[in-house]
Amino acid sequence: MSPIKDVSGTAFVVAEFRARENAEPHPLYVDRVVPIFLDERTKQAADAIAAGFAAAEMNVRLRTRYLDERLDEQLANGCRQVVILGAGLDTRAVRKQSPGVAYFEIDDPNTVSFKQARLVERGIGAPINFIAGDYVERGVLPLLEGSGFRCDLPSFFIWEGNTMYLTKEAAIKVLRDLKSSVRQFSISFDYMDKAVVARTTGEGGTTAFVERFAAMGAPWHYGIDDLEALAAETGLTVADAATIGELHRKFWPERPLESIIYEHYTVCTLEPNATART
Domains and CATH numbers, the chain: 4-275 (3.40.50.150)
Which is it for strands 265-272 and 236-243: parallel, antiparallel or unpaired?
A: antiparallel
Instruction: Give the model confidence (pLDDT) of 129-150 as tens digits.
Output: 999 999 999 999 999 998 999 9
Give CB contacts under 8 A, 24+ apart, made by 212-216.
Answer: 212/48, 212/49, 212/51, 213/10, 213/49, 216/9, 216/10, 216/49
pLDDT given for residue 4 in this prediction: 34
pLDDT given for residue 132 in this prediction: 96
pLDDT given for residue 274 in this prediction: 60
Phi, psi at 131, each rounded to 5°: -125, 115
| pTM, to two decimals | 0.94
pLDDT band at 9 (very low <50, low <70, confident <90, very high): confident
84 sits in which H/E element: strand 81-85
**Does 2 score more than 50 pLDDT?**
no
Instruction: Give the model confidence (pLDDT) of 78-90 as tens digits.
Output: 999 999 999 999 9
